[in-house]
Structure 1
């Protein structure tokens, strides 16, 4: 079996990134994994234009995991200033979820945030309804900060809400 390698995304990866992210978060195919948001949101998770914007921004990047020519996973990293990094859009192909690739991508994100942006802590935002995911992040050293962020209702670029109680909790952990 070919080794999995992680590298920063480039513009040519956008179509594969878009397919992967949508499959991990939306629609019936996402239900094959445990990270689906299909019960919370319909519509898109992202679009190619948003991904292109991320790749063009020096304060952001996408790390990607590949086996040969197959994209298996990705994670967005961003500099939030004040020695704070952020990651989001963690996506692993649904049939591969639970095999350790997500953890490996988070570890790569931590290292990249520290090396590239000088981050000493990392923040993430999670739907409070995603209790299993919150528990997973706790096992990775994240703790709720007590802060919440509103869901961008009315902006279909982020998905079509299936509930009226969506928001995010903020979690954080220090970096070594």
Structure 2
């Protein structure tokens, strides 16, 4: 089934926002393998956060949609400085996971960071409890930097994020699992 990847617009957010929530939280998320539903139960992303990303020229929200124009995935790329981009909010509709779309979204994000933002390195953070997700990114060329960051929401006990990074020089290819 053909998939298009393009920048999300404000008019896409009414369908994209619920897809993001389904991918990260609740029982629907458990149908996929990349969810946080067993660790967190709050809302993953507020609509206002997505509106701000779409309006910010130093960020982009790339959206994957199927042949029916239904959002089935997204990834956020933010330019942090002249050489560093941040990859976040990568999610795929739970029933569409494990078919290569995540690799496509990562590759699109990396190309955008390199070719549009001019960055030479891209980084991400992953909940350190998600060792299988960290391993997935390592198979795609990301390496743990040794840095650990606080989870953005204070919890008891606290969660921490593992920082992974990848150089963006040369042709970018998606690796196979």
TM-score (norm 2): 0.92
Match in the other structure for 2:58: 59
- Structure 1: 5+ residue stretches without partners: 155-160
Q: How many residues align?
A: 168
Task: State which of 159, 165, 173 in structure 2 corresponds to 1:172.
Answer: 165
- Distance in structure 2 (CA, Å) of the matches to 1:55 and 1:5: 18
Q: Which runs of structure 2 are paired with 1:1-176 in the superposition (5 Å)? A: 1=1, 3-68=2-67, 69-154=69-154, 161=155, 164-176=157-169
Distance (Å, rounded) in 2 between the aligned partners of 1:25 and 1:121: 26
Secondary structure at 1:42 match in 2: coil
Runs (4+) of structure 1 moved beyond 2 Å?
none
Cα shift readout 1:82-110 (whole Å, capped 9, x = no counterpart): 31111110010001100000000000000
Instruction: Report the equivalent of 2:172.
Output: none
Asked if structure 1 preserves the Cα contact closer than 8 Å seen for 2:82 and 2:118, the reply is no
Task: Write the distance in 2 (CA, Å) between the matches of 1:104 and 1:35.
Answer: 16
Q: Answer 1 or 2: higher relative contact order, Cα 8 Å, separation at least 6.
A: 1
Please state whether the residue corresponding to 2:11 is helix, strand or coil.
helix
**Counterpart residue number, 1:157:** none
What root-mean-square deviation, in Å, do the aligned CA atoms of Structure 1 and Structure 2 show?
1.1
Q: Please give the alpha-carbon distance, in whole angstroms, between the structure 1 residues aligned to 2:157 and 2:27.
A: 21
Task: Determine the C-alpha separation between the residues in 2 that align with 1:45 and 1:114.
Answer: 27
* Cα displacement string for residues 46-104 of structure 1 (whole angstroms, at most 9, x for unaligned residues): 01111000111111110011112111110000001031111110010001100000000
Q: What is the deviation of 1:152? A: 2.4
Paired residue secondary structure (1:114): helix
CA displacement 1:105-137 (0-9 Å, x = unmatched): 000000011111101110000011101100000
